[in-house]
Structure 1
């Protein structure tokens, strides 16, 4: 009986508190008039449709009306949804607009955004952001805003224009780029927002609580209703995008230069099976235009986590997320599906023969299936990778689901599999809980075990508390996933308190505590940490933080860092770190960090300095420098250095160039990557790529170089 009462209470909480949807509606006007996307809302239909202007501040003065009038209008025809923003500004000469790159850092400019929950289920949405220059940034959002895929690229149009009263943007989003359940008259969730950079003001049509900060703007529970969409064409479609690649390459092998001619072709296809289910197929997949990974110095004995950059794996990637710490910032301690396990072995690319991916939603079920095959390469046999992921919507904003993965070589008995179930429960818009259990099995008995995870996250206007427990068995493996270590029982607590000051030039002051306790499965202590710190954000949007940490680490086996060896043993360490940053929308911005403390049985001083200089709205220079001074008893003081620079130039929103250079002295390598990208028609690109690598073990000696051109063309049927 008590269990039933508890379940009833939870259900009442979910029903009562997740209804943050305001009673606001916007009804676009169906137009037969041709709408030219030019930044001028001068077609007659714009004056006839509904206008909304009741925006509310999220920050700095939560709950107050927006300080600069903002008007939004919507139109649609059978093929596209149109949105027009009129952003009035009493100081038009102070509008910040200096970013033109696709998916650039538009949040550092004056910008507007649209959230479209096309299923109306408050679980997933499409998020579009633009600025006064008409730059494009789009994000696919899943798990109620917990997973953000900023590399999803929609084919849409924007035109921006600045004028004496402020600025205007005009937007067109084709319906066939969205997924939705087609009805005679559809109702979607929608929200609009505007950021005024010089005053650090953020406002929305449906206000997001200040305690949710910027991540809350991606949460689809904060929505009004978009009503009256009728006669919209079904987004069932077929796209084919062939590519043609050619170039030259030269590399040094065993002291001899080998020169090769690069010639290749392939095909990507996309078929809209229904209005909300899409099939992607790829043949002889190529990622020549993908930027190199950012160089890092690994000062630990665990593997580094690098983000996925390949388009095929990025689209719909949020649906395949499964593990511990999913949705948190930083690398997850356990991810059952890590797409970089496909086509990359020992930091070398392995040819992708092809495969397919099915993603979408059928009723209350979100479905994802992926199958890819890589070619044999040296000692690596031909390998097939498969993933099946499904989630079922429950209650107002919760899901339950499962995942199955299979990695099989030569289609024989050499396989590795994972299978698990997970729960995301959100009884309140400020309270989230996750649970997950997963197993591994293969022909090797020492690769069969279980892992499970529980987390609880709660926040209000001032406090945030996150507690979690992770258990990974001694033999658990995930060859299609990523994990730092196994044979652990980990208890973590992270909490902070923040208060708004708004006086003496200070906006916010905060303090926090984080701690962790780590055991193995024999209940032996293998690690712990405790960290306390504080931070301050100024009215100018400059800020700094100070943290002090004490930790314990048991090293079972010695490992190497550069030329030094860290012996096995127990280590207690203290560390202090200071971080500072300047307001990021300024033409020149700096982000710095300094650390000092124990490093196992020695000590370490580390600094990092990143800068960003927007010389014009077309030209930007970014630099990065990291240096460590490490002192260990057995050897003299040694240093590690990482230097990077990126120069970006945008002729307009369809023509970009970029030069990215890096040097990592501990890895004894340097590299340069040049990319030219011209979008000559929506969805179709021309790329020119030049890559060069140097061996720096004894000066700078060219190790290899490649020059490629790639041409793609989108056929839409």
Structure 2
């Protein structure tokens, strides 16, 4: 017979449960009071200054992963102070002696696969926008902007300073963030702030403010407050001048007219702080040769694939310009500026002559963004000078929601009516039938006007996005609308998401990303999360998605999909999933899914339905040898398709890694339609000799386009935000199925030596 629990023991148990719950730092209820320092803070990781002894300590970090019901097993501490120029942090991360898990010494590391401590600052206290600064135990930095309350963009670059020192039982980081490097209001004396730690070798994530596991720990909703004893110091004169100069050698063996040989170039960017919260960016003759080339994909769909923007000029406050609409219906996509396609659909660079962008906060509630860029003409592509302009406004309402407006305008300049149509790109001039005559029609402009409401409730349960856009140009007069609605409800164990999009046949956003027009689409996606009490699985979830797409007038279904998936996250950092999908597609234009291996067409008016099963696995990220693999098998239009893709890598910590990305597709269509084996191989070597000297070399072999691309990139960050780059690129046609050795089959090659320097005036 079991004995009853003594009343005194029961009281102690209840008190223990209460104390654990009580010690959680609560969002917006936990506050840190700053003290100003008169000392000269030396960033050495030793914390010898008196101010650190007298400052408050932000501690009692709470675990998020693998459990969210207990304090972190090893605690972290943060102390803060400031002077007239910098915001200082002293971070102590208590640790064992097992060593650290990092990928390399390269800046802007990926947070989930590197041990790190990160700071998230919301200077406007709007729970929407802010800045993030992170550091690894090896002293490697990462900075990012925050938008929509949780999204981070680490392509943003700015100046800040840090130093890390390791001890037997902890590592300590001292950090100085110049007020000139962030945007804030001098009138706001309470900032939202959150600290997170990824203790990867223990697969433990923790945060200063307790965060339920179903949410991102960096979500600004789950932030504490830092209280200033006085108005934050003014940033003062904030002007940065960033000139560059380069020498290059370009050869084109396919088109002698584009064989430029030796060349040189120069230009500059400038950043002018109009106020602590409003910035003006200028660029003259910008160059982006140091930007890493896009990673190729095997696109088997009927529509364009979107690649990310990495050009520095377009990144700060990028969400203000680029988040109008849904991912497949954006009113503005900055990669449309300076990049076009030729008559064969190949990407071509168009030189940017210059531009200006003003972005930031007018007041605590209103953000503004204004952008204007001018591109050069390309006679070989029959493109005239083109001007791109965007105006965006975002007004915060309620607690975390906002309404926004956008106007995007593209103009073709210097069009001379009456010239032969062959002298203009098809994007600019075409022949039209008007009555009984055929005339030349010129497109002088393309414009998009839009409004949007973004919903985020204070309790984080509801999120939504509702927008309407309309395009204007003289080639498209009817069906020029684009509108959509998104609504999500989320609790600890379940979430439900609904999405609707409607785009007219005539909607044309030449500055945006809209790969498909003339459709209505709706989807419903419920999911349920389980949190088992065992030492193997953190959580697993079941989700279902049903999606229907019709043409613009709802006269027929063009696409339909049903997807059932089961996902697992394990305590050893690995993950797995299995998916079952049933697809239906109606061909509203002729399509060859295995071109150029076969020109047989799935003809307009035919339709196809098929099933696919897919399995995915990602290995333990702490291991020096790690991999992820995804494989699927099933139907594919009127045939079958087998796919395997993923990545396998080896890490020689902390100095770099070697990895191979792979994607293989074996497609067998019905008799008479052909078959194809597409494969993409991408070996990559990443070396970080120090936290300031980097080398990246990778190749991409895509047999679908019979091309091998090399991109070799050396970078020396000789001063904060100042670099020397040496970049070599080459494209050649392989002589065999797997040929990475160039020779007489080279198509083009280029060598660039570039110097940039960030000068604060």
Q: Scaled by the length of structure 1, what TM-score is found?
A: 0.93
Q: What is the CA distance between 1:254 and its match in structure 2?
A: 4.5
The structure-2 alpha-carbon separation of the partners of 1:375 and 1:259, relative to structure 1 and needing over 3 Å to count, comes to closer
User: Could you say what secondary structure the match of 1:312 adopts?
Assistant: helix
Tell me, yes or no, if the aligned pair for 2:122 and 2:131 is still in contact at 8 Å: yes
Residue 15 of structure 1 corresponds to: none
Q: What is the CA distance between 1:297 and its match in structure 2?
A: 1.2
* Separation in 2, partners of 1:433, 1:53: 34
Residue 211 of structure 1 corresponds to: 214
**Is residue 418 of structure 1 aligned with residue 474 of structure 2?**
no
Tell me, yes or no, if the aligned pair for 2:192 and 2:220 is still in contact at 8 Å: no
Structure with more of its chain in strand, by fraction? 1
Tell me, yes or no, if the aligned pair for 1:178 and 1:235 is still in contact at 8 Å: no
* Separation in 1, partners of 2:368, 2:235: 20
Over 4 Å off, 4+ runs = 254-257, 697-700
* Separation in 2, partners of 1:507, 1:316: 35
Residue 323 of structure 2 corresponds to: 322
Q: What is the CA distance between 1:588 and its match in structure 2?
A: 1.7
* Separation in 2, partners of 1:587, 1:678: 26
* Separation in 2, partners of 1:444, 1:585: 56
Larger mean CA deviation between 95-104 and 487-496 belongs to: 95-104
**Is residue 148 of structure 1 aligned with residue 152 of structure 2?**
yes
Residue 178 of structure 1 corresponds to: 182
User: Could you say what secondary structure the match of 1:319 adopts?
Assistant: helix
Tell me, yes or no, if the aligned pair for 1:384 and 1:409 is still in contact at 8 Å: yes
Instruction: State how many pairs are aligned.
Output: 688
Show the 5 A alignment for 1:554-565: 554-560=586-592, 561-562=594-595, 563-564=597-598, 565=600
Gaps of 5+ in 2: 1-24, 342-346, 416-442
* Separation in 1, partners of 2:236, 2:205: 33
The structure-2 alpha-carbon separation of the partners of 1:433 and 1:635, relative to structure 1 and needing over 3 Å to count, comes to closer
Residue 28 of structure 2 corresponds to: 22
Tell me, yes or no, if the aligned pair for 1:506 and 1:538 is still in contact at 8 Å: yes
User: Could you say what secondary structure the match of 1:84 adopts?
Assistant: strand
* Separation in 1, partners of 2:387, 2:127: 35
Residue 439 of structure 2 corresponds to: none
Q: What is the CA distance between 1:527 and its match in structure 2?
A: 1.2
The structure-2 alpha-carbon separation of the partners of 1:434 and 1:27, relative to structure 1 and needing over 3 Å to count, comes to same
**Is residue 702 of structure 1 aligned with residue 746 of structure 2?**
yes
User: Could you say what secondary structure the match of 2:53 adopts?
Assistant: helix
Residue 368 of structure 1 corresponds to: 369
Q: What is the CA distance between 1:683 and its match in structure 2?
A: 2.3
Larger mean CA deviation between 32-41 and 606-615 belongs to: 32-41
> Which among 541, 552, 556 is matched to residue 584 of structure 2?
552
Tell me, yes or no, if the aligned pair for 1:208 and 1:222 is still in contact at 8 Å: no
The structure-2 alpha-carbon separation of the partners of 1:360 and 1:599, relative to structure 1 and needing over 3 Å to count, comes to same
Tell me, yes or no, if the aligned pair for 2:190 and 2:225 is still in contact at 8 Å: no
Residue 89 of structure 2 corresponds to: 83
Q: What is the CA distance between 1:111 and its match in structure 2?
A: 1.4
User: Could you say what secondary structure the match of 1:391 adopts?
Assistant: strand
The structure-2 alpha-carbon separation of the partners of 1:502 and 1:129, relative to structure 1 and needing over 3 Å to count, comes to farther
Q: For residues 568-617 of structure 1, give each alpha carbon's deviation from its aligned partner in whole angstroms, at most 9, with x where no partner exists.
A: 21101110100001122321210100011111111100000202321120
Residue 467 of structure 1 corresponds to: 498
> What is the RMSD computed on CA atoms of the aligned residues?
1.9
Tell me, yes or no, if the aligned pair for 1:179 and 1:235 is still in contact at 8 Å: no
Q: What is the CA distance between 1:259 and its match in structure 2?
A: 5.0
Q: Scaled by the length of structure 2, what TM-score is found?
A: 0.87
Gaps of 5+ in 1: 1-18, 326-331
User: Could you say what secondary structure the match of 1:324 adopts?
Assistant: coil
**Is residue 276 of structure 1 aligned with residue 277 of structure 2?**
yes
> Which among 538, 550, 553 is matched to residue 519 of structure 1?
550
* Separation in 2, partners of 1:310, 1:484: 22
The structure-2 alpha-carbon separation of the partners of 1:521 and 1:248, relative to structure 1 and needing over 3 Å to count, comes to closer
User: Could you say what secondary structure the match of 2:159 adopts?
Assistant: coil
Residue 358 of structure 2 corresponds to: 358
* Separation in 1, partners of 2:64, 2:535: 21
Residue 329 of structure 1 corresponds to: none
Greater C-alpha Rg: 2
Residue 389 of structure 1 corresponds to: 392
Tell me, yes or no, if the aligned pair for 2:64 and 2:217 is still in contact at 8 Å: no
Tell me, yes or no, if the aligned pair for 2:370 and 2:389 is still in contact at 8 Å: yes
Tell me, yes or no, if the aligned pair for 1:440 and 1:448 is still in contact at 8 Å: no
User: Could you say what secondary structure the match of 1:626 adopts?
Assistant: strand
Q: What is the CA distance between 1:435 and its match in structure 2?
A: 0.5
Q: What is the CA distance between 1:505 and its match in structure 2?
A: 2.1
**Is residue 117 of structure 1 aligned with residue 122 of structure 2?**
yes
* Separation in 2, partners of 1:635, 1:566: 7
Residue 505 of structure 1 corresponds to: 536
* Separation in 2, partners of 1:259, 1:420: 42
Q: What is the CA distance between 1:446 and its match in structure 2?
A: 4.3
> Which among 512, 526, 551 is matched to residue 481 of structure 1?
512
